[in-house]
Amino acid sequence: MKLLILGAALSALYVIRKYLEVRRSRKSVRSHPGTTTLISQTNFIIGFLPQIPGITHGSHYYWQTKHRRELSSPISFTLSRRLTTDDSIAFAEAGWDVLANVSLAPDVTLSVADAAVIKEITTARSRFPKPVERYEVLSILGGNIVASEGEEWKRYRKVAAPAFNDRNNKLIWDETLKIMLDLFDNVWGDQESIVIDHAISITVPIALFVLSAAAFGQRISWKDDSSSGIPPNHRMTFKEAIHEASLGCFTKIIVPGWAMGLNEHTRTVRLAFDELESGLQSYVHEMISARRNSEKKEERYDLLSSLLDASSDDPTFTDRDLTGNIFIFLLAGHETTSHTLCFVFALLALYQDEQEILFKHIMSILPDGKLPTYEEMPLFTQSMAVFYETLRLYPAVLGVPKYSAEDTSLTLTNAAGEKRILPVPKGTSIELNVAGLHYNPRYWKDPEEFRPSRFLDPDWPKDAFIPFSAGPRACIGRKFFETEAIAILTMLVLRYKIEIKEEPQFASETFEERKARVTASKSGVTMTPIRIPLVLKRR
């Protein structure tokens, strides 16, 4: 009995202590509106959990809430008044575009969907640096430009920046056209109708083939991409290795080495990483060795050449750094592009009127059916508008993390013009809430609507559009990404009409139900479409 009483007393003391800690956390940000949960939004484990009211927001929280509250929480708590605020509170309810989310750690995370505040945070890099420890999963093969900060990041960026130039962009465009023509002529041929069970089955190889050729000088044809095409001394194709590695990043970092062979999934992930980076016969090492030892020194403009040239002038840039950066560009370059293109195709299939507008615009530039050139890329404004509107609605990354390196403050202004000074204690976590910003009605009229024409207005709100992040840390590969995507989109719509595959089990669904089904997604390294079934009809 005494032990029970002692246990109860200790439990009560623990609850009281946590209550007081959470109150102090709330007071440190002047009781600014937000939520309270047991597990912090910055905790790595949330990537594997669903939303559990009062426990965790889950991995898809920013997407589920966006700017307005879309999901009602079955359980409500109030901690700023008594214990917590409503677990599903969103910006529209709070009246501010910054929320202070507190956990029982205790920990405060500011969720930010205010364009002016985001601009201040991304510009003031010394005050609000990147929490590189949260990117450990991306440093599996070595340090890199994404998972670094400060002087290390500057060094990586200096080495990589020369690759992202106009000559390389032209190479990207030209290689993309070759890959699309290879697909049209040698895979689809004379077929009048192409049925695709999931768009990812074409967008992943397209993105990888482009990246492989334009970034690393490794050309892959559609006919090469099969199990029979596995090179000597390998057990996977290059495409299979990078795709499985990207899917298995989280597995690689959380599963101990001794357990990586206990089931089929972990064995596949282990093999993929072995194929990419283990030993002299790994794909990455083979690429580096072949380029370094080439007897004929060609003038190349691809990423690998730039990394090798720049690293040869910097003795501190090791082969481990080289491998790490090659991997991050392979991962980010193929997954982000392939997933975004899936959503592009889904939206055009759903909104046939917008697809027709796009087709007519492309035809106005290419009336005689000639191939588009890189020099003509600025003319494809409608293609870019469709691409940007897709990124606004379905950003690849939903949250960009920062933290406060010092005691500071942020000035907030709400939709009514009211101002508030928000204290930001040193160590406060910050999440640039990309979904919240992209659906914020202060910046976007009818934000839920797919409306590419909004990006044809020269005064569209550029500070409220951050699919590539913002400030000095914005994505270095943005132009690479845009060039490839516009070439793919333009070529496909020029040749084929995109439709949703009709399936008997969904015959009675409404348009909104169809849209929700086709654009459904799950969390991954980037936002991942679940299944986008399409039919492509030759024009």
At a CB cut-off of 8 Å and minimum separation 6, what does 426 contact?
Answer: 404, 405, 406, 407, 408
Higher pLDDT, 295 or 410: 410
Pick from 154, 193, 80, 167: which is nearest to 473 by CA?
154
At a CB cut-off of 8 Å and minimum separation 6, what does 82 contact?
Answer: none
User: Residue 274 — pLDDT band, cuts 50, 70, 90?
Assistant: confident
Poorest-confidence range of 50-54, 156-160, 439-443, 462-466?
50-54
What is the predicted pLDDT for the residue at 299? 60
Higher pLDDT, 247 or 440: 440
Residue 365 has pLDDT above 90, yes or no: yes
Residue 324 has pLDDT above 80, yes or no: yes
What φ, ψ does residue 411 adopt, rounded to 5°?
A: -95, 120
pTM reported for the whole predicted model: 0.88
How far, CA to CA in Å, does 390 sit from each of 229, 454, 498, 519? 35, 12, 16, 11
What is the predicted pLDDT for the residue at 431? 94
DSSP-derived letter for residue 469 is B
249 belongs to an annotated ligand binding site: no
- How many other β-carbons are positioned within 10 Å of the β-carbon of residue 3? 7
Among 33-42, 110-119, 273-282, the range of highest mean pLDDT:
110-119
Residue 295 has pLDDT above 70, yes or no: no
What is the predicted pLDDT for the residue at 427? 92
Pick from 341, 337, 385: which is nearest to 362 by CA?
385
What is the predicted pLDDT for the residue at 46? 62
What is the predicted pLDDT for the residue at 386? 98
Residue 504 has pLDDT above 90, yes or no: yes
Higher pLDDT, 143 or 390: 390
Q: Where in the chain is the domain with CATH 1.10.630.10?
A: 154-355+479-538
Residue 399, beta-bridge partner list: 433
| Alpha carbon distance 372, 110 (integer Å) | 45
What is the predicted pLDDT for the residue at 315? 77
Pick from 210, 203, 200, 201: which is nearest to 178 by CA?
210
What is the predicted pLDDT for the residue at 530? 95
| Mean pLDDT value across residues 31-38 | 84
| Mean pLDDT value across residues 133-162 | 82
Angle at 402 between CA 88 and CA 324, to 5 degrees: 120
Q: Which tokens is 228 given? A: 């029979």
What is the predicted pLDDT for the residue at 45? 61
Residue range 7-33, pLDDT digits in tens: 777 767 766 666 677 778 788 888 898
Contact (Cβ atoms closer than 8 angstroms) between residue 79 and residue 102: yes
What is the predicted pLDDT for the residue at 492? 97
User: Residue 78 — pLDDT band, cuts 50, 70, 90?
Assistant: very low
Q: Can you list the positions of beta strands (E) in 313-464?
A: 399-403, 408-413, 419-424, 429-433
Among 78-82, 469-473, 479-483, 499-503, the range of highest mean pLDDT:
499-503
What is the predicted pLDDT for the residue at 226? 53
**Amino acid making up residue 152:** E
528-531, long-range: CB within 8 Å, 24+ apart, which pairs? Answer: 528/339, 529/198, 529/199, 529/200, 529/339, 529/342, 529/343, 529/346, 531/197, 531/198
Residue range 301-319, pLDDT digits in tens: 677 877 787 777 777 788 7
Poorest-confidence range of 5-19, 54-68, 191-205, 508-522?
5-19
What is the predicted pLDDT for the residue at 113? 96
Pick from 148, 119, 120: which is nearest to 133 by CA?
148
What φ, ψ does residue 110 adopt, rounded to 5°?
A: -90, 120
Residue 106 has pLDDT above 80, yes or no: no
% of residues, the chain, pLDDT over 70: 89
- CA torsion sign, 413 to 414 to 419 to 425? negative
Residue 259 has pLDDT above 70, yes or no: yes
What is the predicted pLDDT for the residue at 71? 41
How far, CA to CA in Å, does 171 sit from each of 166, 167, 213, 397, 403? 9, 6, 9, 27, 38
DSSP-derived letter for residue 52 is B
CATH 1.10.630.10 for the 154-355+479-538 domain, yes or no: yes
**Residue the block writes with tokens 């950066």:** 325
Tell me the angle at which helices 381-393 and 319-350 cross, rounded to the nearest 10 degrees: 100
What is the predicted pLDDT for the residue at 163? 77
| Alpha carbon distance 223, 207 (integer Å) | 16
What is the predicted pLDDT for the residue at 445? 95
3-state helix, strand, coil in the chain (%, to 5): 50, 10, 40
User: Residue 228 — pLDDT band, cuts 50, 70, 90?
Assistant: low
Residue range 341-354, pLDDT digits in tens: 999 999 999 999 99
What is the predicted pLDDT for the residue at 82? 33
If you average pLDDT over every residue of the chain, what do you get? 85
Residue range 449-487, pLDDT digits in tens: 999 999 999 999 999 999 999 998 898 889 999 999 999
% of residues, the chain, pLDDT over 90: 46
| Alpha carbon distance 172, 276 (integer Å) | 23
Give the three-state DSSP class for 528: strand
Higher pLDDT, 21 or 415: 415
